[in-house]
Amino acid sequence: MCSLDVACGIKERYKYMSSEFDLINKWFNWPNTDPTVIKGVGDDAAILSVPEGKQLIVTSDTFISGVHFPHETKPHAIGHKALAVNLSDLAAMGAKPAWFTLALTLPEYNEAWLSAFSLGLKTLAQQHNIQLIGGDTTRGILSITITAMGLLLPEKSLLRSGAKHHDQLYVTGTLGDAAAGLAMLQQPLLTRSEQCIQQLDYPQPRVQHSHIIRDYATSCLDVSDGLLADLQHILTASKVGAVLDLACIPFSKPLQCMDKNTALHFALSGGDDYELLFSIPLDKQKEFEQHMQQQSLICYGIGHIDQYVHGIISRDQQPLTPKGYNHFIGMNH
């Protein structure tokens, strides 16, 4: 469907419609040899063959210019990140990526922009063997909605609700880099770290980690709104509390060079990390860590679940209050 503004004249509407089909064919009709895709881009809807005995996991994320990424973000990074955040949600559930749709709203037809966006998207899609099977293309403020689908054996899903007393808490990578990167872009007086900006633009979804984590974890989610805010989601769903070991929060080199409180603020309350946060029962901890090591995958222990604690506290009993981002009230300080 071509949903153009009423203000858009009929002549322009038809001019845009013809290029809409060219645009889809040129940039988003990728060769698809995957046998699960019976019909991909090109018909009214896609037809997929869902393997018998598997559950379908579905997630959607919208990405709006100026809200979810700065207007100046390079189109290659936008393509990467729009898919990466969806792959991260699939990983947080333990699912294997299978298919995705792309709803794209563009302010104008811009070949250079589309070429870079499509390449960023395609490169990550190929890395994770996820197939683009359709979507929608409209005109308006730049906005991208991806719906990703993954597959999972029944009983294997990683929920937020299973954390138990004494479980150990882990994250799959350093925290706060993306939030620091965003602060650097917004406040040019801050010393710039390309590593932090790279982390902001090109988060790496922890799909490989998740396939091991799902065999051991009692709960899992991906950290997108800040460690404390997202940990609180696990605690609320699991009806438990947690003790965080602040000395064990993993920091990248650039954050290690910052003032300690600033680095902690980015790590605890910043967003856009896309690391997995999960809980492992004490009696499985050793086997889990060995398994991760065998696969050369890194994770960091950062605390534990305590059913007698209310909310989140530090090792020295200080309450830690979530300050994640909320779209309707902004940063809740």
Residues in the site for Mg ion, rule: CB under 5 A?
Answer: 1, 136
Q: Where are the alpha helices (DSSP H) in 136-246?
A: 177-186, 194-201, 207-213, 227-238
CA distance 93 to 149: 11
Q: Is 79 in the site for ligand ADP (CB under 6 A)?
A: no
CA distance 302 to 168: 8
CA distance 25 to 15: 16
Site string for ligand ADP, 102-141 (x = CB under 6 A): x-x---------------------------x-xxxx----
Instruction: Tell me which residue of 264, 160, 272, 174 sits closest to 226, measured CA to CA.
Output: 272
Find which of ligand ADP, Mg ion, none residue 106 binds, CB within 5 to 8 Å per kind. none
Among 4, 24, 200, 305, binds ligand ADP (CB under 6 A): 24
In the bound complex, what is the minimum distance in angstroms from residue 3's beta carbon to Mg ion? Answer: 8
Q: Is 43 in the site for ligand ADP (CB under 6 A)?
A: yes
120, 76 contact by CB (below 8 A): yes
Site string for ligand ADP, 213-232 (x = CB under 6 A): --------------------
Among 16, 28, 274, 278, binds ligand ADP (CB under 6 A): 28
Secondary structure (3-state) at 85:
helix
Instruction: Tell me which residue of 76, 65, 73 sits closest to 122, measured CA to CA.
Output: 76
Find which of ligand ADP, Mg ion, none residue 77 binds, CB within 5 to 8 Å per kind. none
Q: Where are the alpha helices (DSSP H) in the chain?
A: 10-27, 75-93, 111-127, 177-186, 194-201, 207-213, 227-238, 253-256, 260-269, 285-294
Residue 5: CB atoms within 10 A of its CB come to 11
Amino acid (one-letter) located at 176: G
Q: Which is nearer to ligand ADP, 118 or 168 (CB)?
A: 118
Q: Is 83 in the site for ligand ADP (CB under 6 A)?
A: no
Find which of ligand ADP, Mg ion, none residue 234 binds, CB within 5 to 8 Å per kind. none
- Residue 6 neighbours by CB under 8 Å, 6+ apart: none
Amino acid (one-letter) located at 228: L
Q: Which is nearer to Mg ion, 1 or 329 (CB)?
A: 1
Q: Is 41 in the site for ligand ADP (CB under 6 A)?
A: yes
Q: Which is nearer to Mg ion, 1 or 6 (CB)?
A: 1
Q: Which is nearer to ligand ADP, 41 or 229 (CB)?
A: 41
Find which of ligand ADP, Mg ion, none residue 152 binds, CB within 5 to 8 Å per kind. none
Find which of Mg ion, ligand ADP, none residue 98 binds, CB within 5 to 8 Å per kind. none
Q: Which is nearer to ligand ADP, 132 or 305 (CB)?
A: 132
Find which of Mg ion, ligand ADP, none residue 144 binds, CB within 5 to 8 Å per kind. none
11, 28 contact by CB (below 8 A): no
Q: Is 44 in the site for ligand ADP (CB under 6 A)?
A: yes
237, 160 contact by CB (below 8 A): yes
Q: Rg for the chain (alpha carbons), in Å?
A: 21
Q: Is 42 in the site for ligand ADP (CB under 6 A)?
A: yes
Q: Is 170 in the site for ligand ADP (CB under 6 A)?
A: no
Q: Which is nearer to ligand ADP, 145 or 174 (CB)?
A: 145
In the bound complex, what is the minimum distance in angstroms from residue 20's beta carbon to Mg ion? Answer: 9
Q: Is 18 in the site for ligand ADP (CB under 6 A)?
A: no
CA distance 273 to 204: 9
- Which residues sit at the interface with ligand ADP, rule CB under 6 A? 1, 24, 28, 41-44, 102, 104, 132, 134-137
